[in-house]
Amino acid sequence: MSDPSSALDSRRALWSWALYDWANSAFATAVIAGFFPIFFKQFWSAGSDVGESTLQLGTANAVASLLILLSAPLLGALADGLGQRKRFLLLFTALGVVMTALLPLLEEGAWPLAIVLFVIASLGFSGSNIFYDALLVFVALPPQQHRASALGFALGYLGGGLFFAFAVWMTLDPVRFGLISATEAVQLSFFLVALWWAFFTLPLLFWVKEPARVASRSETGYLRQALREVAGTIREIRQQREILLFLLAYWCYIDGVDTIIRMAVDYGLSLGFTSESLITALLLTQFVGFPAALFFGVIGERYGARTGIYLALGVYIGVVLWAYWMNSELEFYLMAAVIGLVQGGIQSLRRSYYARLIPAQRSGEIFGFYNMLGKFAAILGPLLVGLSSYLSGDSRLSILTLLPLFVVGGWLLSKVEEPAEIKQKVCLP
C-alpha cells in the first residue's frame, strides 16, 4: 500500500517545482520579450537609428547568452558534485531579481547601463534554468516527465500572461494606479517583476528536495573535480550517438525559437507597428500557450515527444515565411496566436525528451551542456538578425536567416532514436 503522505509530498514537490516557471516567466515575458525591447528602443536608446538599436539589442542578448555558454557545464558539474542544484538555482535567481529591480533607476539615454543590467539579469534567468531543468528528474519519474515538463511551461505561460496583462493595464491607464505616465508604469513593472519572481520561488525553496551529495566525494577540490568531470562528459557525449544528435538538433532549432521570442517585438517596431499592438500580440501568445503546452504534454505521452517537436517545427517554418511578407498588425496578431500554439509545446517536449536520454545522477552537468548549446544558439540568432538588418537596411530579410535552422534541426532530430519507455505504474498529480 502506498504511503498517502509520501504521495502528497511528491505532488507538492512537483507543483512547487513547476511553479518556478510561473515565477520566472514574468521576467521572460515582461522584460525579455515585452517591455525591455520597446523601452530600450524608445527610452534608453532614444534618438538612435532603427538598425543601430536593433544591433545593440541583439548584441545584448548575444553577450548574455555567451556568458552562460561559458559557465553552464562547469556550474552544472559543480552543482552535481556538491548536491546543491537547488542552492545554485536560488543564487542565480537572486542575481536576476536584484538586477531587474535596478532597471527602473536608469535614466533616458542610458543604453550602455541598460545593457549591462539586462545582460546580468538574463544571466541570472538562464543560469537558474539550468538547475531548474536538472531538478525535473527528481520531482517526476520518467513516465511522468513529459506531462510534468508541460505543466511547468503551462504555468509559465499562464503566470507570465497574467502578470504581463496587469503590467500592460498599468501602462495604458497609469493614472488609475497613481502614476504620471506610461514611462513610470513600465519602470514600476520592472520592479514588480523582481518581486513576483522572488515571491513565487519560495515554494521551490521549501518543498523541492534533491538527493544528498554522494558521501564518498571529498570535501575539497570540487572545482578540479568538476573540471575533470566536464572534460569526461564531453568525451562521453561524443561517444553517445543519441545524446549527441539530439543536442545538435536542439542547437539548431532552438536558435530560431529563442530568436523569435527575443526579437519579435523589435521586428514589429521596425515594420512600423505600434507598441500597443505588439504588446497585445504578446499577451495573446501567452494565453494561447497555456492550454497548448498542456496539450503537447499529452501528445508526448501518446505519440512520442519527437512527433510533437516535428509538428511545432513545421509551424515555425510557416511562421518565418509568413513574417517575411507580413504587412498588417492584424497579421501580427494572428501570427502571435499561431506561435502560442507551439512555443510552449516545443520547449516542454525537448526538455522532457532530453531528461529521458540522460542519467539522473548527472542531470545538472549534462543539462548544463544542454543549456550551453541553447544559449550558444541564442548568441548566433540575435546577432544574425541584428547584423543582417543593420547591413542590409531590410528588417524583412533578417527574419529569413532563421529558416534553415528549423529545417536542419528537424532533419537531425529524425536521426535520434526514441528513448526506451520505462514501464512503471505511477500516479500523476
pLDDT in tens, 120-162: 998 899 889 888 888 887 888 777 776 787 788 788 888 988 9
Handedness of CA 156, 157, 162, 164 (dihedral sign): positive
pTM, entire model: 0.69
The residue among 205 and 234 whose pLDDT is bigger is 205
Most confidently modeled of 23-37, 208-222, 349-363?
23-37
Check residue 215 and give its pLDDT: 45
Which three cell numbers, joined as nine digits, stand for 321? 515565411
Which three cell numbers, joined as nine digits, stand for 44? 534608453
pLDDT in tens, 28-87: 989 988 888 888 878 888 766 666 767 777 777 777 777 776 776 677 667 766 777 888
- pLDDT beyond 50 at 338: yes
Mean pLDDT of 168-182: 91
End-to-end CA separation in angstroms for the chain: 18
Check residue 274 and give its pLDDT: 82
- pLDDT beyond 90 at 199: yes
pLDDT in tens, 264-277: 777 787 788 887 78
Check residue 163 and give its pLDDT: 94
The domains of the chain, with CATH numbers, are 4-208+223-413 (1.20.1250.20)
Residues near 249 by beta carbon (within 8 Å), at least 6 away in sequence: 409, 410, 411, 412, 413, 415, 416
Q: Could you tell me where the DSSP H helices lie in 393-423?
A: 395-399, 403-413
The residue among 100 and 210 whose pLDDT is bigger is 100
Task: Tell me the percentage of the chain whose pLDDT exceeds 70.
Answer: 76
Check residue 343 and give its pLDDT: 79
- pLDDT beyond 90 at 202: yes
d(CA 323, CA 336): 11
- Whether 370 and 280 have beta carbons less than 8 Å apart is answered as no
- pLDDT beyond 60 at 17: yes
Most confidently modeled of 146-160, 184-198, 352-366?
184-198
- Whether 269 and 49 have beta carbons less than 8 Å apart is answered as no
- Residue 246's nearest CA partner among 76, 419, 73, 403 is 419
- pLDDT beyond 90 at 198: yes
Mean pLDDT of 322-351: 83
**DSSP 8-state class, residue 421:** P
Band of pLDDT at residue 204, cut at 50, 70 and 90: very high
